[in-house]
Amino acid sequence: MARNFERLLDLATAAKLPPSGAYAMIVDPATSEVVAHAPDARDQHPLQHSTVAAVDAVASRLAAAHGDEPSGGKRKRLTEPSEGESPASSELYLCTGLDVYLIREPCIMYVPATSKEGVGSISNICLMSSFTRRMARCAMALVHSRVRRVIYALPNPTFGGLGGRLAIHHTAALNHHYSVFRVDGTLLERCTSLFSSM
């Protein structure tokens, strides 16, 4: 994990990072191949956080490899299902078994309670408080993509989805869970200095 995190820091250092300091890298742990990486682009669009941009990059890469568009967030298995295997298990999700490396803890997104969205909107389905509705944006995108592990350095006590504000990965009601690790030592120091230099 440490070697891959150093690769993330090298990519983030080479990129011109936005003020958020967020950068994501998705790695296939079986081959150590960097499948996708992305800087935070919320200065261009409010929903283009680095985590979501990296998952989108995986989808684009898979679509290009198969000559088609991604189908509902799932990719088709390259081999036929074995005898007795259910059709549902014959599909894989975008990031099944992949590891995600992040400089910053993935976020939850706040939608104001005064939002004029309809009753069936996603923010109305989310956890409620008297002032805001919490929506797990980046942390939940990793659940939906079926990642194996998330490794990050800098916590986000205000909007963090893996312990800062919520702990999505510990939510029993979800049908997928991933392991979460936080780096320390010299890797954490490098992240802190990278973030503070912006």
Distances (CA, A) of 172 to 49, 76, 142, 169, 175: 26, 27, 16, 8, 8
Mean pLDDT of all residues in 112-116: 45
Summary mean pLDDT of the chain: 74
Total residues found in the chain within this entry: 198
Mean pLDDT of all residues in 97-103: 93
Q: Kindly indicate the confidence band of residue 115, based on its pLDDT and cuts at 50, 70 and 90.
A: very low
Domain regions of the chain by residue span: 2-76+90-196
* The pLDDT value given to residue 197: 62
| Span 2-14, pLDDT tens digits | 899 999 988 988 8
- Cα-only R_g, the chain: 17
| Span 175-193, pLDDT tens digits | 888 999 998 888 888 877 7
* The pLDDT value given to residue 144: 85
Residue 41 clears pLDDT 70, i.e. is over it: yes
| Region of poorest pLDDT, from 2-16, 66-80, 109-123, 140-154 | 109-123
Residue 43 clears pLDDT 50, i.e. is over it: yes
Residue 135 clears pLDDT 90, i.e. is over it: no
Q: Is the alpha carbon torsion for 137, 50, 64, 8 positive or negative?
A: negative
Q: Kindly indicate the confidence band of residue 33, based on its pLDDT and cuts at 50, 70 and 90.
A: very high
CATH 3.55.10.10 fits 2-76+90-196, yes or no: no
